[in-house]
């Protein structure tokens, strides 16, 4: 079922699928995997298979039944563009989104190439915000070019867990960047300078910047509970969210391919 969430940048989660598989270094300490195991042990419906990818069509219509306008994080416990989720099921998910214009749906993926392929030749619903995880340079940065080919009204980046200095990031066509450190017992540290460098680039490009958390390591480089480390960056919280533009500007697919080739051989 859709549930309230403590995730700072959304209101509720909606998981028409649960479970996933690891594809990058950002997946190493997956919070959803640990949570799925706990929910299975508790006998919660939908988690009988633990973290094995599972389609839950009985959850598809949940947003349709909610009348109050709501911001949903879609598949907080999975990845909607996982290779084992058929296109036919994706069409059902996006049909619900189209039928729910009062809601906003935030969809975040590490499988940016499949997302770009799915939307080739079609526009996403206007109330669907599409984003990619950019946890480091090698795994995350290439996802940005795929994201730019998708004509979503809002395209966003989750740099969480931020595992290294990303350097100069091409933020063209990006409307929102979320930054956060990793949490959990095996959390890897995030340095203050990494987050500030991203913030400065967002300011320069007029991209909304949201600092979610320090996670398991504080700004002082000490490990402690996530709540103790808090959300302050340079003494304050940063909670900007994007203003929906009247239309989406995106990079044609051929241009994006050319840019990736230049990145690979330049």
**136 pLDDT higher than 90:** yes
pLDDT (tens digit per residue) in 55-113:
999 999 999 999 999 999 999 999 999 999 999 999 999 999 999 999 999 999 999 99
Write down the pLDDT at residue 59.
Answer: 98
CA distance 41 to 39: 5
Residue with the two structure tokens 């989406």: 248
SS3 of 158, please?
A: strand
- Min mean pLDDT across 14-18, 30-34, 252-256 is at 252-256
**254 pLDDT higher than 60:** no
> 61 is written with which tokens?
């219509």
Write down the pLDDT at residue 1.
Answer: 61
**250 pLDDT higher than 80:** no
Q: ∠ CA(86), CA(122), CA(155), 5° rounding?
A: 90
Using alpha carbons only, how large is the chain's radius of gyration in Å? 18
pLDDT (tens digit per residue) in 36-66:
999 999 999 999 999 999 999 999 999 999 9
Residues 6 or more apart whose CB falls under 8 angstroms from that of 252 comprise 149
Distance of CA 73 to the CA centre of its chain: 8
CA distance 52 to 21: 8
Give the mean model confidence (pLDDT) for residues 161-190.
97
Give the mean model confidence (pLDDT) for residues 131-139.
98
**256 pLDDT higher than 80:** no
CA distance 86 to 84: 6
Write down the pLDDT at residue 245.
Answer: 57
> 187 is written with which tokens?
């959390």
> 217 is written with which tokens?
């390591």
Which of the four pLDDT bands, split at 50, 70 and 90, describes residue 264?
Answer: very low
Please state at what angle helix 137-148 crosses helix 253-265, rounded to 10 degrees: 150
pLDDT (tens digit per residue) in 140-154:
999 999 999 999 999
Write down the pLDDT at residue 2.
Answer: 77
Write down the pLDDT at residue 251.
Answer: 46
pLDDT (tens digit per residue) in 216-236:
999 999 999 999 999 999 999
Which of the four pLDDT bands, split at 50, 70 and 90, describes residue 246?
Answer: very low
pLDDT (tens digit per residue) in 178-220:
999 999 999 999 999 999 999 999 999 999 999 999 999 999 9
Which of the four pLDDT bands, split at 50, 70 and 90, describes residue 266?
Answer: very low
């Amino acid at each position: 079922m859709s549930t309230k969430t403590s995730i700072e940048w959304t209101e509720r989660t909606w998981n028409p699928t649960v479970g996933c598989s690891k594809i990058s270094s950002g997946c190493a300490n997956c919070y959803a995997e640990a949570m799925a195991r706990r929910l299975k042990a508790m006998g919660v419906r939908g988690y009988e298979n633990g973290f094995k990818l599972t389609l839950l069509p009985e959850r598809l219509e949940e947003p349709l039944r909610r009348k109050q306008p709501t911001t949903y994080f879609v598949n907080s416990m999975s990845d909607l563009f996982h290779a084992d989720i058929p296109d036919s099921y994706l069409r059902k998910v996006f049909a619900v989104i189209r039928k729910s214009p009062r809601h906003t749906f935030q969809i975040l993926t590490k499988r940016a190439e499949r997302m770009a392929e799915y939307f080739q030749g079609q526009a996403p619903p206007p109330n669907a915000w599409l984003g990619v995880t950019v946890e480091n340079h090698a795994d995350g940065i290439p996802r940005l070019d795929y994201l730019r080919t998708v004509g979503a009204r809002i395209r966003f980046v989750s740099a969480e867990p931020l595992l290294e200095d990303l350097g100069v990031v091409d933020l063209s066509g990006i409307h929102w960047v979320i930054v956060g450190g990793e949490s959990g017992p095996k959390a890897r540290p995030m340095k203050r300078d990494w987050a500030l460098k991203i913030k400065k680039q967002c300011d320069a490009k007029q991209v909304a910047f949201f600092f979610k958390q320090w996670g398991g390591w504080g700004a002082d480089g000490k490990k402690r509970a996530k709540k103790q480390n808090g959300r302050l960056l340079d003494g304050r919280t940063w909670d900007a969210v994007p203003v929906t533009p009247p239309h989406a500007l995106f990079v044609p697919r051929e241009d994006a391919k050319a840019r990736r080739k230049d990145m690979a051989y330049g």
